[in-house]
Amino acid sequence: MSRYPRDLRGHGATPPDARWPGGARIAISLVLNYEEGGENCLLHGDAASEAFLSEIVGAQPWPGQRHWNMESLYDYGARAGFWRLHRLFSRLRLPVTVFGVATALARSPEQLTAMQAAHWEIASHGLKWIEHKDMPEAEERAAIAAAIRLLQEVTGARPRGWYTGRCSINTLRLTAEEGGFDWISDSYSDDLPYWLDLSDRAQLVIPYTLDANDMRFATPQGFNTGDDFFRYLRDSFDALYAEGTEGAAKMMSVGLHCRLVGHPGRVQGLRRFLDYASGHEGVWFATRGQIAAHWAAEHPHQPRLRPSALTREDFIARFGGVFEHSPWVAERAFALELGPAHDSAAGMHNALARAFRAASRDARLGVLKAHPDLAGKLAAARNLTEASSSEQASAGLDALTEAERRQFATLNAAYTARHGFPFIIAVRAHSKAAILAAFESRLAADSATEFDTACREVEHIALLRLKDMLP
């Protein structure tokens, strides 16, 4: 069995209407990453200095040495940048979510007090601002627990949100399994929150951003000026705001760092964006906790069938009859690379149709022959499968006059004699008159063409059946 864990489907072609409070067209989440004092440093017990997200172009870790310039650049964020941003947000009375590194906040009691006095939401940004990609699972689990304990000690409350940032492939699962978070943001995969299905629970994920993020002041091909930052944020806002006017309201995250946008040459770009966004109607500035509470109330988790997570036996039992009396189609589909993208009618249809199309002509012919005659002897004896019975009834084929019954019998016999398999059509998509017209025209077709037509109709019938079974 091959399973593909990434979810490339998400909310699909028609995302849910967010229904933000007050009919807002967009929700904006301002996120301040507080990392200063939690970064890699010999003083923090690390093996080398920090080398990530600073003014030093091409910085490299210094094993066994403190890097004074790097430390002082981080210090700027705590000493100057934070207070500049705090004054800006306080003046505008905007809600803020802090991604707080636990050890950083423990070393910054005055900044923490200011955050709490402003009623900012303080979420966990991990124990330390270091890479998790090479951490053994047990070590990362322990670090998550330690981060929660320390943040509770210094803030007086357990964090209800989490974002690691420099995460591992296990981070999202481990934080979700911890079980105490209203939301997790270690994802960049959507413009709306979504539910992550685990084996025994559901976790709300509020995706974050690395593009509408001041970190690009410290990356190649990033922002050079505050005006670059403003224009990018403005364009992102305009696109999402326009979607909100069309009944498809989204959310916008803005990622900030004290040591980056906190510089005077950059903060003006942020200030201009906040003034610009605030000047529009229908804008909801909210913490991530507020967004999570709203989403959980308006779009609660809905348990649903996940075909890609079924056992082989359950999979075949549930989908073995989608292609009439041909469980082998489901057996072969189960062996494909299934994943979350197949947990829908369209996804399952794709997998089953692939298995059907890849089969030999004789195997596909067997599927065609497994279909009953329309309004034939099986229908009269009420011996059709439940699906076939419902489908024929939908077109009124269960209530024919005697003359109509004889007409169908004559056409069935002629069609099967000519082509070697029953006449197949997705009856739910046609009226009785349209079915009879198709019968007459397809009876005259050559058998090779009609074989292909019948196979397409079998696939269409399968899709209609799957839509009854799956969202």
Kindly list the catalytic residues.
Answer: 371
- 306: exposed, middle or buried (C-beta count within 10 Å: 0-12, 13-18, 19+)? middle
Cα–Cα distances in angstroms (integers) from residue 128 to residues 151, 229, 276, 348, in the given order: 11, 28, 35, 43
| CA-angle at 294, arms to 290 and 295, nearest 5° | 115
**Going by C-beta distance under 8 Å and a sequence separation of 6 or more, which residues neighbour residue 330?**
315, 316, 319, 320, 322, 323, 352, 355
Is there a contact between 260 and 267 (Cβ–Cβ < 8 Å)? Answer: no
**Full DSSP string of 317-354:** HHHTTSSTT-HHHHHHHHTSEE-GGGSSHHHHHHHHHH
Cα–Cα distances in angstroms (integers) from residue 432 to residues 283, 350, 396, 412, in the given order: 52, 29, 7, 15
Is there a contact between 215 and 257 (Cβ–Cβ < 8 Å)? Answer: yes
| Strands of 309-435, DSSP E | 337-338
**Tokens 């089953």 — which residue?**
352
**Full DSSP string of 171-240:** HHHHHHHH---SEE----S-SS-EEEE-SS-EEEE----SSSBGGGGGSTT---SHHHHHHHHHHHHHHH
**Tokens 């000026």 — which residue?**
225
What is the spatial distance between Cα 164 and Cα 186, in angstroms, rounded to a whole number? 6
Q: Is 436 left (phi over 0), alpha (psi -120 to 50) or beta?
A: alpha
What is the spatial distance between Cα 161 and Cα 470, in angstroms, rounded to a whole number? 32
- 72: exposed, middle or buried (C-beta count within 10 Å: 0-12, 13-18, 19+)? exposed
What is the spatial distance between Cα 313 and Cα 4, in angstroms, rounded to a whole number? 19
**Tokens 């997705």 — which residue?**
426
What is the spatial distance between Cα 83 and Cα 76, in angstroms, rounded to a whole number? 10
What is the spatial distance between Cα 189 and Cα 428, in angstroms, rounded to a whole number? 37
